Amino acid sequence: MKITSIASGSSGNSICVTNEKEGFLIDAGISKKRIEEGLKVADIAPENLKGILITHEHSDHIKGLGVFLRKYKTPVYATGKTIKYILSSSSVGKVDTDLFFEIGPDKEFKLGEFGIRPFRVSHDAVDPVAYRFSENDKAAAVVTDLGYYDDYIVDNLKGLDAVLLESNHDVNMLQTGPYPYHLKQRIWGNKGHLSNETAGRLLDTIAGERLKNVILGHLSNENNYPELAFEAVRNEVNAGIGQYCANDFNLVVARRDMPSDTIDV
């Protein structure tokens, strides 16, 4: 199993997961052209995608979906409320409703050779989820857009071989930056985004013998830097109460606006 972050950031998100013959996308929040270019990096043809898993309806996760579907007719999987929103969105446009399949949190399903488990996250969307997925004896997850974590989130992230984890903002940059106060409240609230430090504490909690690859994703363009996220998360893990340190896994930061190196899980 391989994971390629085509784009991960506050301006657009799309993650590709593949094996030797097939794969799927998590979100389509960038243009069709950029998704196609990212799929070339991931070494998979669009026609070999088994589906697109949508986490939630915000534009940085769906804005390229309509154009992509009108060309490739790829099945889309999302919660019922999210599907209803997408189909009524003028930015998505007219799409074939038969391409959409409703899924539910904690209800596992198969997508080709992959096992998929959606799980709930706290975010200001109609019915947001993250995804844990497995293939053969490997397991990974993509979890972004969550205002906090709890035992339920931790349980869904235990026993992974790889994870793409939100590290959205530096608290000081957000507090002192130009955003209006109501937007700052949204971001650091329980339905917003994880800070670098909170991401590090979550990583310290889920670290285990199997976890070898960690991708930090969904960085804010205005309130974070890749180097800052990297060091802050490492520091939290090294100072944490767990038995693992940051050197026990390969820690990288996903690029916001171009494909990152493919991770071989």
Q: What are the structure tokens assigned to 93, written together?
A: 């446009």
CATH class of 2-264: alpha beta
- In the chain, domain spans: 2-264
Residue 256 CB contacts under 8 Å (≥ 6 apart), including other chains: 7, 8, 9, 10, 11, 12, 219, 221
Q: What are the structure tokens assigned to 6, written together?
A: 């085509």
CA distance 86 to 92: 7
pLDDT digit string (tens) for the chain, length 265 residues: 999 999 999 999 999 999 999 999 999 999 999 999 999 999 999 999 999 999 999 999 999 999 999 999 999 999 999 999 999 999 999 999 999 999 999 999 999 999 999 999 999 999 999 999 999 999 999 999 999 999 999 999 999 999 999 999 999 999 999 999 999 999 999 999 999 999 999 999 999 999 999 999 999 999 999 999 999 999 999 999 889 999 999 999 999 999 999 999 9
